[in-house]
Amino acid sequence: MPIINYFELMKASIEVVDNVILRCFDGDVYLQDIVDSWDETLARYDDLKEYKGIVTDFLRANLHHEDNNMNILIDYLKRQLGRMNDMKIAVIMDSPHVTNTIMLGEKMKHLQIRPFTTRKAALDWINL
């Protein structure tokens, strides 16, 4: 499946590598960009259970994400639980926002969300 690039101010790509959905962000990224990216992912990949997991890579992104936005993202993901229940979701980042990812994982018990600092570590976990 080809890589899909979208958004004007922020670059994001979505592709499948070894049966893992890989979402990569580059540039300035805001909450709405993350939600839009999830919408795009869910529209493209109807049956998520066919995939080993999802890796979201923010290493080349400049996240503009406020703590109060986390509840918006939690509510969004809760609405998708029927499609994503027990799915492994790895988030790659090297910024202070790692704490938000850990908190998101704690609040979303039906999803396995874990933070990583390298793509290799994230893929190793997804492929366990």
Give the confidence band of 3 by pLDDT, cuts at 50, 70, 90.
Answer: low
77: β partners: none
pLDDT (tens digit per residue) in 41-81: 999 998 888 999 999 998 888 887 666 677 788 788 888 88
Question: Do 88 and 53 contact (CB within 8 A), yes or no?
Answer: yes
Helix axes 70-79, 31-44, angle to 10 degrees: 10
Mean pLDDT of 80-85: 82
Q: What is the pLDDT of residue 53?
A: 93
Alpha-carbon separation of residue 119 from 37, 67, 78 (angstroms):
19, 25, 26
Q: What is the pLDDT of residue 66?
A: 65
pLDDT (tens digit per residue) in 100-110: 555 555 555 66
Residue pointed to by tokens 């027990």? 86
Q: What global pTM score does this model have?
A: 0.77
Whole-number Å distance between alpha carbons of 64 and 84: 25
Q: What is the pLDDT of residue 12?
A: 82
How high does pLDDT run on average in the chain?
79
Q: What is the pLDDT of residue 51?
A: 94
Domain edges within the chain: 4-126
Question: Do 4 and 13 contact (CB within 8 A), yes or no?
Answer: yes
Q: Which residues contact 52 (CB under 8 A, 6 or more apart)?
A: 18, 19, 20, 88, 126, 127
CATH for 4-126 (3.30.360.10, 1.20.5.50, 3.20.20.60, 3.30.750.24): 3.30.750.24
